[in-house]
Every structure is written in structure tokens, then in C-alpha cells.
Structure 1
Amino acid sequence: MAHRTLKTRYRLLARRYGLQIKRIIPCHSLYKRNAAYRTITDRGDFLLKPFCRSLLLGRRTPKQQIERISSHIRTLKESGYPHLPKWLTTSSGRYWTSYRGQPYYLTEWIKGRGLQNDVQDYDNLGKALAGLHNVTPNSRLPMSCFTLQEAAVLKRQDALFRRQLVRFKRRGRWFRMHGAECIALADEAWRIMETPEVQRLLLMEHEHPALIHGDVTFPNVIIRPDRLFLIDWDRVRMGSIYQEVARTLLNTTLFEPRLMEALLRGYEQFKPLRPEERLLISALFRLPREAWSSAKRIALGRSRNVSRLVTRTWGRRLNAVVWMEGWAGAASPEGTGINEEGEPSAM
């Protein structure tokens, strides 16, 4: 009975887009079963997705959030952004519809492959990300210093970790071995962010608002022979491009410098970064977020040990931090890469 009710619901929703459903296939995400549905219709295959309210988009209702997302999608479409799947409109011209208060949207089905261990894939991902960050939204918030807001949240997470670390050191081998490294990584990140040039950048961020995807991860990158697509735009919003670049490096490159270099090279082909912007990205990258997250899960009783992601990648992560320091320093005569004459400087 429940299955029959779902089929009736999706057929009704599809008719609002002028489609007739032949078959529906559930799609699972990293976080949720049946997160979306591959909808096979008389006009081809599409992705039908229920929209869930996100705290990242503020305290708005689901309807208000999907309206704001639709506005951003329209902006991207009007700008000619090529890495966005086509969003279908209903007979009334809207990008979304609802069933008993639950918003839904429909996009083209993107068939392709995922990111591979190939520098060209990451070069293309960097270009796609830079193209997005070059799109100026139609509306501007009066106080949109997004990176400062993100930094405040990160500092609270760091402070919580430091309080928990005293207890974890007594019973956790990993925290005894690497807790001090976590503290040192965070201390250096905060020091970088407090330098005058980075502070000026943060305070002037509101003059250059930009859209971010909000969740660039392996499952949300699909590559077709003709182009790369970013999918799952449920978190698109105005936000910190520096945080997004750092998180994309953390989420997709497996801490491999050659892939990191390819992504950043592709990004700077479309959006060159000033020395202080490189410093800020390197600072955000070095924060040990996964260790913070593991400590929180242990404290809440959701896990007994540090996650495998942390234990297996910690050495590579530290090496990647060193590589990022060189990348950021090479952009500035005051850094650790090159001097004003372009010659190597002392490390």
C-alpha cells in the first residue's frame, strides 16, 4: 500500500512537469536512503528529489529555502554556467513543486563517471568551481563577511576539542600521539587568519559576494565526455569561496599534492588568487576538522574510536599541509617560496 501511494505521488508530481512516469529507481546518498529517484519517463530520464530543510540555509521554512535556491539556480542559468544540470520548470514556470507541504524539484539525469585519480579531472573541477565563484548573485546581504562567520564556528569546535582532549589522552592512544599536532595545526591557522593582510581581506569580503555549491564531494561530481557536472545543489547559497576551496581539497583530493595542484591550477586559470587569498585557503585547509568531528562523536557516545578516515590519512594530511604552505608562500615575497627577484628563498 505504501509503495502504491508513493507511485501515485510521483506520477502526480511528474504530470506537473508534463511528464508521464514509466519507472522509478531509488538513489541513495552517503547520508540517506532514497535521497532521490531516477525517474524514467516518456521524454527521457530525470532526477526527482525531495528537498529537505537545511540549517546551513538559515532559519527559513523549507518553502522559503527552496525559493531562495531557485533564485540562485535562475542566476546560474542566466549567466550561462555550464556545469549545472538542467532544472525543469512546471507548467506554472517554477523550478519546484510540492506535495502535502514537501517541496520537490526535477533535473535532467546526468549519466557519466566519477572523479578518477587523474590530474585532468581535477583541473576541470577547479575550473568548474572558479566559474561558479565568478557568478555574482542578484541580491546582496548587508553584512556578508561569510568567512569570518565560518571562522567563529570553527573556533568553537576547536575550543571544544581542546577541552575534550584532556580526557581523551588518558584513554585514547591516537589522541596521546597526535593531540599536540592538532593543537599546533589550529594555532598556526588562527595566526595566519589574524595577520593584517588576511584580516583586511576578511573585512572586505562583503564587497565581492559569490555563490558557492556547499557540498563538493566525490558523489556530487559527475564527468561526461563533453563536460564536468556538479550535482545536488540543495546547499547553493552566498558564502565563503575560500572555505569552499579548502573543503573541496579536503573532500576530493585524498591529500595527494599532484591532485591538489591540478585543482588549484584549474581554479586560478579562471579566478587568480591574490597572496592573502592563498594564505587564507591554506589556513582553512590545515584545520584538523576530521579529528574534531571524531572527538565529538566519541564524547556523544556515537563511536568508541577515532574514525578510520583520520587514522589512515593523518600522515598524508600532514604532508599535504606542508605542500599547501609552499603553495601559499610561493605567492608572496613575504612567504616561504620565492623572493622579490623570483629566486628561491630560505625555508
Structure 2
Amino acid sequence: MTHRTLKTRYRLLARRYGLQIKRIIPYDSLYKRNAAYRAITDRGDFLIKPFCRSRVLGQRTARQQIERISSHIRTLQKAGYPHLPKWLTTSSGRYWTFYQGKPYYMTEWIKGRELQNDAQDYDNLGKALAGLHNVCQNTRLPMARFTLKEVGILKRRDALFRRQLVRFNRRLGRWFRKHGAECIVLADEAWRIMEAPKVQRLLQKEHEPPALIHGDVTVPNVIIRPDGLFLIDWDRVRRGSIYLEIARTLLNTALFEPLYMEAMLRGYEQFKPLLPEERLLISAFFRLPGEAWLSANRIAFGRSRYVNHVLKKTWGRRLSAVGWMDRWARATTAPDVSGRDTLKGAEINEEGEPTAI
């Protein structure tokens, strides 16, 4: 698409929001080129983004998905959630608009710095996440047990990984021959934690009430301004498992550093204290070797010849972080954040709790 055609498209879209574009600047995401656009207009800077249908939002059409997302955004704005960019509405009052069969939306442009290696940043991130998880939608629809559904998906990925592990040849399977057994031990321990009676009781009652999750809290999606921390890219907002989101946020942002992990969890619990069984469930999700599963899958299907370099570089720190999470899950106060102890393995007692070796 030529720059002139691109500018014409976004000029027409901006008019539906009552804006006139002076300049349009494309921005890439981690996964896609030109994933979003910065629109410099007569009323300031805004983000214009084409919405792409996502499998994580189910089998709905793109229109149905953007309508559902708009409903969640409206709920957050009515609740006064402060970490959400302002979404613009068209003249018809909708958050989104169609152009040539594709949905688009506009929000304010959030200008600030990225998440830094600073405990206060992670404390604020934990508070922002807890505030989101405290916003519940009133609905008459029967709610699924979101975490149980996610556990089923993760168990299938683990089973696929174990089959792939057997088939890897010597050249492709070097890293997996060295660390594959550790991956299996970590997964087995996670499943045993989840099977503990008190964790099972938690999972069975999770759907009352349903909570909203962001769905993609990563370093690029956290922006900090002098007036506070903002989460951007809400394309995957939905009702879902807060426990899996906490674990994934730690994995995606905290660099396996206990200092930052402790700060994020401390900030979270200032707004939303966690029960002992909730801590156990989060620690179980954290120990699952999802990056190893993904690398194995890409290699098995010919999409890569190599293990993800981040996985290789951080594996030792990851095992240390798993050990720290085990201690956090058992503790009534935060454990030591030195991170000196590397997990060599763990025993899971009959209550599903990890015990140190």
C-alpha cells in the first residue's frame, strides 16, 4: 500500500471520530509490521489500530470480537479504571468503525517511558493488574470455569511436547536432551499442585464472579507517564483466568529476577490479597515450561531449526525463579529476594505444596 493510499484511508477513518489528520506514522509490534499508527491531528496525537481477529477470543467473527471488546472497555471506563487509555467514539457513539470490511479503533496516544528495572515500576504494575482483576462485569450468561479450561489446553500442549521430545534427532534435540527431563519434572509438579483438594475447590468456584483480564501484559504494552502507569493494546481483553495472567505477567516482564517479582506481587496484594491456594495455583502456572513447548513445536513443524535463544539464555535464572515462587507460595510474608538458590527439583506433598530439597 502506497503512503498516499494509506494516508487517504486513515484520513477518512479519522473524520468519523471528528478529527483531521496532519501526519500518519506507522509503528511495528513484536509480531507484526505496521501494527498500529500514530495519527497527528488538529486535536493532538492519537493511535489508530486495525483490529485483527484473534483465536484466543473464540470462534466469533471480527465484528463480534470487537463488539465484545468494546463492551469490556465500556465497563472499565464506567468503573473509572485509571490505567486504560481513553477510547474515542465515532459520531454514532461506537468505539470502532469499519473500512472495507475491516474494523478499526482509535485511542489517545500514550507517550511515556517503558517499564524499567526498578522495583517501584513493578509495584505499580502489580497494583494496575489487581485493579483490573477487581472489575467484574454483571452478566446473566453462564460463566465457564476459565482456569480449568486453560489447564486442559496446557495439558494438551505438554502431551504434544512429550511426543515431540521422543522424535527429535541428535542435531535438533541437543538442548532438549540436556533439559527435556527438567521440563517434564516442572510440568509434573505443576499438575500435582493443581490436583490438590484446596486448589481444586478454588477452580470449581472461580466463575463466581467473572473477572476481566488484559490478555497480553508484556514490556512493550506497559507505558509509564508522570501521571501513572498505562496498559496499552487491549485487543485481547476478556473474562478469563486471573491466576494465569499473573503468572504470565511475571514471566513476560520480571526477567526472572526475584526483586521485581516480589515487588509486582506485593503491589498486587495491596489491592487484591491472595489466598494460600491462589498463591499455589499461580506458582504452578509459573513453573510450566511454556517457552520450551513453543520452541519444540516450531522445530517439529519446520518453522525453526533452533531453540529460542532467550529460553537458552535464561533457563538457569528461570529455575531459580521457580524456587523463589515456591517459597512465596508457602510464605505468609515475602521470602528472601536474593535468588541464590537454584531449583534442582522439588517434592510435592499430598496437599500439592512444593517442599524444598
Q: Same fold (TM over 0.5)?
A: yes
Count residues in correspondence. Answer: 337
Q: CA deviation at 1:101?
A: 1.1
In 1: Cα distance, 2:41 partner to 2:122 partner: 33
In 2: Cα distance, 1:267 partner to 1:257 partner: 15
Cα offsets for 1:190-228 (capped at 9, x unmatched) = 000000000000010011210000000011000001100
Cα offsets for 1:241-275 (capped at 9, x unmatched) = 00000000000001000000000000000000000
Structure 1 residues 141, 319: CA separation in 2 closer, same or farther (over 3 Å shift)?
farther
Letter in 2 for 1:249: L
Q: Identity of paired residues, percent?
A: 79
Q: CA deviation at 1:189?
A: 0.1
Contact 2:48–2:107 (8 Å) recurs in 1: yes
Cα offsets for 1:100-143 (capped at 9, x unmatched) = 11100000000000000000000000000000000011325414
In 2: Cα distance, 1:102 partner to 1:166 partner: 43
Please identify, of 209-218 and 6-15, the stretch whose mean Cα deviation from structure 2 is larger.
6-15
Q: Secondary structure at the match of 1:206?
A: coil
Alignment of 1:99-178 (within 5 A): 99-139=99-139, 141-168=141-168, 170-171=170-171, 172-178=173-179
Structure 1 residues 140, 178: CA separation in 2 closer, same or farther (over 3 Å shift)?
farther
Residues 1:252 and 2:259 aligned together: no
**What 5-or-longer segments of structure 1 have no aligned partner?**
337-344
Q: CA deviation at 1:175?
A: 1.1
Which residue in 2 is equivalent to 1:242? 243
Which residue in 1 is equivalent to 2:352? none
Letter in 2 for 1:121: D
Alignment of 1:246-325 (within 5 A): 246-325=247-326
Q: Secondary structure at the match of 2:114?
A: coil
Letter in 2 for 1:239: G
Structure 1 residues 304, 140: CA separation in 2 closer, same or farther (over 3 Å shift)?
farther
Letter in 2 for 1:280: L
Please identify, of 100-109 and 136-145, the stretch whose mean Cα deviation from structure 2 is larger.
136-145
Which residue in 2 is equivalent to 1:187? 188
Letter in 2 for 1:21: I
Q: CA deviation at 1:164?
A: 1.0
Q: CA deviation at 1:3?
A: 2.7
Which residue in 1 is equivalent to 2:223? 222
In 1: Cα distance, 2:140 partner to 2:264 partner: 28
Structure 1 residues 325, 141: CA separation in 2 closer, same or farther (over 3 Å shift)?
farther
In 1: Cα distance, 2:332 partner to 2:142 partner: 31
In 2: Cα distance, 1:220 partner to 1:92 partner: 29
Contact 1:274–1:331 (8 Å) recurs in 2: no
In 1: Cα distance, 2:21 partner to 2:63 partner: 25
CA RMSD of aligned residues (A): 1.7
Cα offsets for 1:121-171 (capped at 9, x unmatched) = 000000000000000113254142000000101000000111111122644
- The structure with the largest helix share of the pair is 1
In 2: Cα distance, 1:153 partner to 1:276 partner: 21
Which residue in 2 is equivalent to 1:341? none
TM-score under structure 2 length normalisation = 0.92
**What 5-or-longer segments of structure 2 have no aligned partner?**
334-346, 348-354
Q: Secondary structure at the match of 1:205?
A: coil
| 4+ long deviations beyond 4 Å | none
Residues 1:47 and 2:56 aligned together: no
Please identify, of 273-282 and 163-172, the stretch whose mean Cα deviation from structure 2 is larger.
163-172
Contact 2:215–2:238 (8 Å) recurs in 1: yes
In 2: Cα distance, 1:199 partner to 1:270 partner: 24
Q: CA deviation at 1:303?
A: 1.2
Cα offsets for 1:278-310 (capped at 9, x unmatched) = 000000000000000000000011111211011
In 1: Cα distance, 2:295 partner to 2:2 partner: 37
Structure 1 residues 197, 298: CA separation in 2 closer, same or farther (over 3 Å shift)?
same
Contact 2:115–2:219 (8 Å) recurs in 1: yes
Structure 1 residues 4, 155: CA separation in 2 closer, same or farther (over 3 Å shift)?
same
Contact 1:278–1:331 (8 Å) recurs in 2: no
Contact 1:36–1:50 (8 Å) recurs in 2: yes
